[in-house]
């Protein structure tokens, strides 16, 4: 229930003159003092301003001038691979679909990436602009690799994703790359070769992506 507004009590002094006849032709003037209590409703106080919650900070979904983004689904084709811990090019999915979405908050723009893995699962990362490399976004991550030599079936890895945006066009009012190059670098020192332990194994896989319309 909304609390009622505070009341202000005002004491009003009213003097009334009453003339009362008291026998014969004489008139006696009697002053009477009447005290009344008047209640006046005070105006309601204005509502207090509330600061926006942290999650309510608006994100400008329109790209900044000169910024090219990746938006939507891209058909990705493996171009090359030199991974040397036994994960051969033939075991990579030749064709897959990756999904990208670009957004800007203030002067910072990022790209959300969802990569389809060979297992059927998805890898999701936030890519940020690479220093001094126009149109390039990157992110570091971790994962596991299947070792085809050594006693371990899987090994922890360090990963880096990088994408280069190409051939921008106006798509629904946004400068969007219609093609891109993607690079995935992975290294591990846990896939031991026969007779050699602690060697760094890994390499780079590259893809070419085309925007699906």
Domain that holds residue 111: 59-211
Residue 177: both structure tokens together: 């790359």
| Least confident piece of the model among 34-38, 128-132, 161-165 | 34-38
User: Is residue 34 located within the same domain as residue 66?
Assistant: no
Per-residue pLDDT band for 36 (boundaries 50, 70, 90) equals low
pLDDT at 11: 41
- Single out the residue of 172, 85, 160, 146 nearest to residue 115, CA to CA: 160
Enclosing H/E stretch for 178 = strand 174-188
Decide if 29 is inside a domain: yes
Per the prediction, the chain carries an average pLDDT of 75
Strand residue runs (E) in 42-173: 72-81, 95-105, 108-116, 122-129, 136-146, 154-171
**For residues 119 and 88, is the Cβ–Cβ distance under 8 A?**
no
Q: 3-class SS at 38?
A: strand
User: Is residue 17 located within the same domain as residue 107?
Assistant: no
Decide if 51 is inside a domain: no
Decide if 86 is inside a domain: yes
User: Is residue 154 located within the same domain as residue 192?
Assistant: yes
Decide if 2 is inside a domain: no
**For residues 150 and 192, is the Cβ–Cβ distance under 8 A?**
yes
Per-residue pLDDT band for 103 (boundaries 50, 70, 90) equals very high
User: Is residue 65 located within the same domain as residue 97?
Assistant: yes
User: Is residue 130 located within the same domain as residue 176?
Assistant: yes
Decide if 52 is inside a domain: no
Q: How many domains does the chain have?
A: 2
- Indicate the pTM of the whole model: 0.66
Decide if 15 is inside a domain: yes
Please give the average per-residue pLDDT across 36-53, as a whole number: 55
User: Is residue 15 located within the same domain as residue 66?
Assistant: no
pLDDT at 129: 96
pLDDT beyond 70 at 151 = no
Query: What are the pLDDT digits (tens) for 190-203?
Result: 877 665 566 777 88
Per-residue pLDDT band for 140 (boundaries 50, 70, 90) equals very high
Per-residue pLDDT band for 158 (boundaries 50, 70, 90) equals very high
Q: Which residues, 6+ apart, have CB-to-CB distance to 77 below 8 Å?
A: 94, 95, 207, 208, 209
pLDDT beyond 50 at 110 = yes
Decide if 147 is inside a domain: yes
Instruction: Please give the angle made by the CA atoms of 129, 134 and 135, to the nearest 5 degrees.
Output: 70
User: Is residue 127 located within the same domain as residue 166?
Assistant: yes
The per-type count for the chain, helices as H runs and strands as E runs, is 0, 10
Instruction: Report the C-alpha gap between 67 and 104 in whole angstroms.
Output: 10
Decide if 122 is inside a domain: yes
């Amino acid at each position: 229930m909304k609390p009622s507004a505070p009341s202000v009590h005002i004491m009003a002094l009213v003097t009334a003159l009453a003339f009362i006849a008291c026998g014969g032709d004489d008139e006696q003037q009697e002053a009477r003092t009447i005290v009344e209590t008047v209640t006046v409703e005070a105006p309601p106080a204005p509502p207090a301003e509330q600061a926006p919650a942290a999650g309510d900070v608006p994100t400008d979904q329109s790209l900044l001038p000169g910024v090219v983004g990746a938006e939507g689904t891209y058909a990705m084709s493996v171009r090359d691979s030199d991974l040397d811990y036994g994960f051969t090019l033939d075991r990579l999915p030749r064709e897959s679909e990756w999904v990208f979405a670009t957004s800007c908050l203030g002067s910072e723009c990022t790209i959300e990436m969802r990569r389809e893995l060979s297992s059927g699962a998805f890898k999701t990362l936030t890519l940020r602009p690479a220093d001094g490399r126009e149109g390039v976004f990157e992110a570091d991550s971790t994962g596991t690799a299947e070792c085809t030599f050594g006693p371990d079936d899987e090994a922890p890895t360090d990963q880096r994703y990088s994408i280069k945006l190409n051939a921008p066009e106006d798509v629904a009012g946004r400068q969007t790359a219609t093609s891109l190059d993607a690079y995935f670098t992975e290294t591990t020192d846990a896939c031991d070769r026969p007779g050699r332990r602690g060697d760094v194994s890994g390499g780079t896989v590259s893809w070419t992506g085309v925007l699906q319309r």
